[in-house]
Structure 1
Amino acid sequence: MRSLTLGLFCLLCCDAVRVDPSDRRRPRPSVLSRGRNDSAVQSNSVESLCKGKPLDFVFIIDSSRSVRPSDYEKVKIFITNILAFLDVGPEATRVGLLQYGSVVQNEFSLNTYSRKADVERAVKAMDHLASGTMTGLAIQYTMETAFTEPEGARPADMHIPRIAMIVTDGRPQDTVEEVAAQARQAGIQIFAIGVGRVDMNTLRAIGSEPHSEHVYLVANFSQIETLTSVFQSNLCGGTDLCSVMDHQCDHLCVSTPASYMCRCRKGYTLNSDGKTCRTEDPCDVMDHGCAHICANVPGVPGYECRCRLGYELSEDARTCRKIDYCDLGNHGCQHDCVSSPESYICRCTRGYVLNLDGKTCSKIDRCALGDHGCEHECVNTEDVFFCKCREGYIIRPDNKTCKKLDPCSLGNHGCEHDCVNTEDSFVCRCREGYKLRPDNRTCKKAVCGDGVMDLVFVIDGSKSLGPANFELVKKFVNGIVDSLDVSGTGTHVGLLQYSSKVRTEFILGQYSSGRDINRAVSQMQYMGRGSMTGAALHHMFEHSFSAKEGARPDIPRVSIVFTDGRSQDDVSKWATKAKDAGITIYALGVGKAIEEELREIASEPDDKHLYYAEDFSNMGEITDKLKSRICKEKPSPQDMCKCENVMLFQRQVNEQLRRLTQNIDVVSKRMETLENQLGHK
């Protein structure tokens, strides 16, 4: 309370000296509006007021878009008015300035200018940033950069007051409380000036205490000039409070323009109470360079480096090296010595065990331990053991049990691929994709060529498919063709592409080799229009399997229908006709294909004739399944004959039943007429 009362008294006295009663009746012009002679008078007056008061002074100016250009110019005038009563010079007051918006822009540092005129010229030349309001970022820059010795701040031990004056007109877009507190703790005295709708709590969080001397709020930029005389009194006038107050500083008291602060002598640091001092912990504040432990020495300024257990300090008194107890040469280990943090231990090489004396080693007889698990014989080696079988037996994969020698192991079985032992002999087997030849030894590649068929592809070329996916469909077709025995007497292949129309790419028997078909498929042009699957099935049924287009009598007929979406016409009618005519249909759908349509197209059962993939990346898997199914279930000519005979018989029976039903209807009507005639009689 005593401090506050004395401070208020000083302010009142300074105001009484600064304002002449006769001047109260007329407005006082700003410093910039005075003439050259008046400026000289003012300069002399201020020089006497600020004599012997060197400062490190940094302006922090809000240059956000909310500050209008005209108001920005008023801020520049206010800065120039403050400069008017400061004694600017390298050994007097040093001035720096930064402005901020979304970023911080340093206009000039504390060591940039040594003359007041140069500072004023730089202030007038400033350009408005007109961006955000990152006040916290600006305070952080001031603390970490602006008040550093490279930027012109004088060393802390010179006790030159560090003053920051913030002028802002809006709410910060970042937090200011923590960084402002850090800046004040670092010895920066902060004056916070708010203009307009600035939150007073925000200004108090920024400014130093007492807030009555460091925090100011004016209604608009026109009124900011009224603060000039207040800051002139705070910065240049006042009493040396350290000499008149019971400051209670433990070491040193340093007067500031509006208050005082306690400082500590070298080797000490200020406590949180801001008054008492404690001895600095060199290990905390210095780059001690100790590799392990930094220890303060009681009663002696400084520190010493120490090492953890099992290490010793090197000659540089900072780094540590591991103590190798084994190098001392007195360990007595028979085999190996291994250092530990506090001592050493002896170890034995592989195949040996450490004796009870902890130093000597004995060879391990692993077979004698009885847990080797060998069925026949156990044989010790230098460091392990292995199992051995008696003559006529060989070791099993578990390397412990034995089995009787097998014929395949003799190497004269003659199997081209794999030899498989049986109970008393062996058999030859082929790897996947091959089958055994009649000699039961050699293998041949398995192809879907043991039967013959007429195969017609019905391929969707609609717009929804797209050119890239159409190329994948062509690869799919060629993949199926490669698995077939295509020849003049073997399998024949034809292909339809459909969109809004149906186009025959090539008919059955047009090509007599798989290579020619592959070439024809690769040269197919994408149609890219509608999706008339029903029309394609109609064409396949009535034309593709006709003798005119190469279909052969008594040869199984198979069709693979590919689609990627809903058909624009009915598929059921012509799919049913084709299946009733003995054509086996495999339906393959991808992407947006409709399952109900696929079931109507595919032969029964569905699980063998219907395939679906969510996208074209799964086409390869479906291709393999479809090739396997076609090869396995391709009907032989004999089966087709049996099937056609059964179907013919069924059609004949259905026709006889139809005629019988008609005759029954005729008889029923005649009986009804006869009954009516008898009833009338």
Structure 2
Amino acid sequence: GKIINPEFIAKCPPGCQDVKHRVYGTDIYASFSSVCNAAIHSGIIDNSGGKVLVQKVAGHSGYRGSFSNGVRSLSLPRWRESFLVSGTALGWAFAACKKDSNQKALKILSVFLYLSSDCKVDLSFLMDGSWSIGKRRFQLQKRFLGNVAQALGIGSAGPLMGIVQYGDDPSTEFNLKTYANSKDLRNAIEKIQQKGGLSNVGKALSFVNKNFFLDANGNRGGAPNVVVVMVDGWPTDRVEEASRLARESGINIFFVTVEAAAQSEKQNVVEPNFVDKAVCRTSGFYSINVPSWFSLHKVVQPLVKRVCDTERLACSKTCLNAADIGFVIDGSSSVGTGNFRTVLQFVANISKEFEISDTDTRIGAVQYTYEQRLEFSFDKYSTKQDVLNAIKRISYWSGGTSTGAAISYASEQLFSKSKPNKRKIMILITDGRSYDDVSVPAMAAHQNGVIAYSIGVAWAAPDELEAIASDPAKEHSFFVDDFDNLYRYVNQLIQNICTEFNSQPRN
């Protein structure tokens, strides 16, 4: 469990894959994992063995298990030390760079850094062009960005990359659609001229949030938006607010900080712990600190693996793509056929505002009278059009009004099958007083993490609507006197869902 050397080569014998030797993590492995099994898991070698470069890295607060290349890795909540594995050609290139920092060695490095992957991200690098970085380190930064471009394997079906340089003010060097291959991108990076000025990172993040990820600039919509911020030292303005707004619009923010402030310089830092305030998870996944510009080459591969790990890009979750929303619809006799169609239109109008897919927001529906019927579950439909068609097909049932039983049924049939990383939102629509108690089933749903909204029409009872709704009730319960006025609450409901989502702590 203790790694002595920062880097070493392990020789894995043929037939080294063995279930007795466990592996913990994916890409980054806890230090007591089997090195050879980790290398097979990550695809560096197969069961015929081979040499593996092992690099020691910091401990993590969470290791994700996965099944890959015939090896099952396990999850782990935290461990004090980790390692990365890579092919020894890469290790040889690192060694060459340590001995010889000339252009030839760096070209060798870039060749071996190429990683084939199905990584599909829209990536913006915020490049530090401030005077504090100096001309020589600015050149090292350009080289680093070129090596990242090479390692990513830029292409229209995979990752696309643009660059914004910041100093006093930010400006786009080129956007996502300017270059469609690594070679052209690297040549363009080499020609970038330093802007100079201060290190206004907050201003740069605001600029990217408003201007960079636009369809006109090549943003693809289906690919996660990622920003990697390069910082020499520390920012000269505040980053917390600009970062929060960027994250809330669905941007994943990574920081690569080089040569952090010395003890004597810390009084100059505008915002202490600026990295932790800027990223959405303080686990270390979204931030890399490098002691010197001359050791940047070591983080190319770890950075590429992280920005391509689309399952872990939790910051791309906005209020519109982060929930399992279950509609609980009153189908009692008092509603009537015409009004029931109006209710279904209301359900469709809310649903179509969300980004619907297997990995984004999912929609489910229950209709109830005295009895309950699961119209469709969260995993039934994975496109917006399929969901809207399914809502249209719901047939009116007619009967009594047992709202309490319906809440219990929705908890068991819908929300018990919700994904762990999703917010569970129940939207219940009723036009009358329930024949059974609603408060106990509602309380049980709240305790199980369901955020409940109640929509009352005509003869619905205000005390029951409040009991069903999550706290504060005035933000989670609504009343209209007529079915035809339901549409008025569509925008308000979505706004409340988003306000609540954005107010939650993201760490």
TM-score normalised per structure 1? 0.34
More RCO (CA 8 Å, sep 6+): 2
